[in-house]
Amino acid sequence: MKADEEALMALAPVLGRVPSGLFILTAGRGETETGLLASWVQQCGFDPPRVTVAVKQGRDVAPLLQAGMPFTLNMLAEGQTSFLGHFGKGFSAGQPAFTGLDVERPDGEGVVLRGTLGCLFCRVAGCFPAGDHDLYLGDVVGGRLLLPDAKPYVHVRKSGLRY
């Protein structure tokens, strides 16, 4: 193994321990809508309230995340593993993402998944390439706490080099 590879392998378990919340990002335009599991979400500003979301390049959601477009971050509560199974595999363009789920579709926002901890309504403020992911900057324009006593689902990986 090369020295660079050895250093990367030593880094992997430490990087994997960086905790992240689990969210379902939903976005849509007209009759086209989708959702995906997002674990790299972070608040990055107070005024205006802003978040960053990292999305693997090539995901079918990219055309729905252009500047100014709305999206919703549905925050998962501890133990909400059914959402992981449903959204973890991803959806291709045109494939229905919300079949069998209890949802609402507020005007001008992404899909809200009822039963999650809460949701943040966002507008895309920018997109920046970040290696094998794109980093989306979102202005938070609203939100709701749906389960006030729930704790957020926090995810820690064994390796910081893969999902």
Q: How confident is the model over 143-162, as pLDDT tens digits?
A: 999 999 999 999 999 999 88
Q: Can you give the pLDDT at residue 162? A: 83
> Virtual CA dihedral for 61, 116, 147, 54, nearest 10 degrees?
-40
Write down the pLDDT at residue 3: 67
Residue 10 phi/psi, 5° resolution?
-70, -35
pLDDT (0 to 100) of residue 89? 83
CATH at residue 65: 2.30.110.10
Distance, in Å, from the CA atom of 22 to the CA atom of 31, rounded to the nearest integer, reads: 26
pLDDT attached to residue 110: 82
Domain extent at residue 41:
20-154
Instruction: Let me know if residue 93 belongs to a domain.
Output: yes
Provide the number of structural domains found in the chain: 1
1 pLDDT higher than 80: no
Furthest CA-CA distance within the chain:
54
Task: Tell me whether residue 13 is in a domain.
Answer: no
Give domain status of residue 14, yes or no. Answer: no
Strand ranges, E, within 47-132: 49-56, 70-75, 103-104, 112-113, 118-130
Asked if residue 116 lies in contact with residue 103, where contact means CB atoms within 8 angstroms, the answer is: no
